[in-house]
Amino acid sequence: MKEKMLSIAPSFNCSLTCEGCYLTTGVTKLMRDSVKSDYYWKRAFDLAIQNGYEELAMTLNPYPGAEEVTLRHIAMARKAGFKRIAVTTVQQCMTKELINAVDILTISWDDMRFGDAGQILRDAQGSSEIGAMWSYIWSLMNEEYEGGEYDGEGNLVRSFHLNINLLWTPVVFEEWLDDDDFIESMEWLLNEAGSENMTISITHLLYK
């Protein structure tokens, strides 16, 4: 049977103002006020499971209280019976609680958040919080890492997938892809990073 995925954007709230983003561009007060209740999402998750959906994909926009809401929705979805949960967010929203709660974590990189490709690394080096979360993600590749991911017989029961989502804008095409350090980092992610515990991919979202 073909796998089915439920994709949701629970909130229009966001502290970013990325040009062209459907979550932050042209959003009216009516749209912001129409955010659904937990009861609505519980019913939606239950109905999705009843109709054969197994994976939930959701966005986590950076705004006060966003992580709490996202973790609550994840718990509701797990209880309903979803087998895989994927969250798309930005690197300043990464926490251990979020990383441990999802099966697939997508981090978005684009020139609206970073002045140049090198700023991605500079932000991680300049922020102890962001740097610590990337270190935690890389620790998932270690053989010593268990974190409840194995059963009593030592068999892997859950792996973690990291996806880097590049917004394909003219700047990314014309400048980032000419940055040798950036290309080297992308090649490392695809060809050398990762392990049985953790797989890695790079995708792109076309900017229209």
Say what the pTM is.
0.82
Q: Are 166 and 110 within 8 A, CB to CB?
A: yes
For 73: left if phi > 0, alpha if psi spans -120 to 50, otherwise beta; the answer is: alpha
From 192, 84, 204, 73, select the one nearest 138 (Cα to Cα). Answer: 192
Residue with tokens 């930005």: 90
Q: Are 99 and 136 within 8 A, CB to CB?
A: yes
Backbone angles phi, psi at 83, to 5 degrees: -85, -35
pLDDT tens for the 208 residues of the chain, in order: 677 899 987 765 665 555 555 556 666 777 666 778 889 999 999 999 999 999 999 988 877 788 888 999 999 999 999 989 999 988 888 888 998 899 999 998 888 778 788 888 777 777 778 888 888 888 776 655 444 455 566 565 567 889 988 887 778 878 888 888 888 888 888 888 777 678 888 888 665 5
